């Protein structure tokens, strides 16, 4: 069984999944990600409520037997991810 690690970063009120922008392009979902997600350099931080679901659903569609391992990092302060650029304000999905 194939395994993949899903890295989750959270603060007191929200969480994001770190995914390379190139992977979103390869999965053909880069254009589906909302402005509630962020990006910095070549990493997209997918918000948990909608965009993470788009990513997970595509992975499950392509790899139905894949096992997901979630690695979580949490802070009680406001996450630094909130200071990154909005995904839609970048050109990462082009």
pLDDT over 80 at 53, yes or no: yes
Q: Is the pTM of this model over 0.85?
A: yes
* Per-residue tokens: 60: 């499950």
pLDDT in tens, 73-90: 999 999 999 999 999 865
């Amino acid at each position: 069984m194939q395994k993949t690690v899903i890295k989750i970063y959270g603060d007191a009120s929200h969480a994001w999944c770190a995914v390379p922008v190139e992977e979103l392009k390869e999965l053909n979902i880069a254009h589906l990600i909302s402005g509630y997600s962020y990006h910095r350099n070549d990493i997209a931080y997918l918000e948990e409520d909608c965009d993470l679901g788009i990513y997970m659903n595509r992975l499950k569609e392509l790899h139905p037997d894949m096992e997901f391992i979630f690695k979580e990092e949490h802070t009680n302060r406001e996450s630094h991810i909130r200071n990154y650029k909005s995904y839609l304000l970048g050109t990462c999905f082009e």
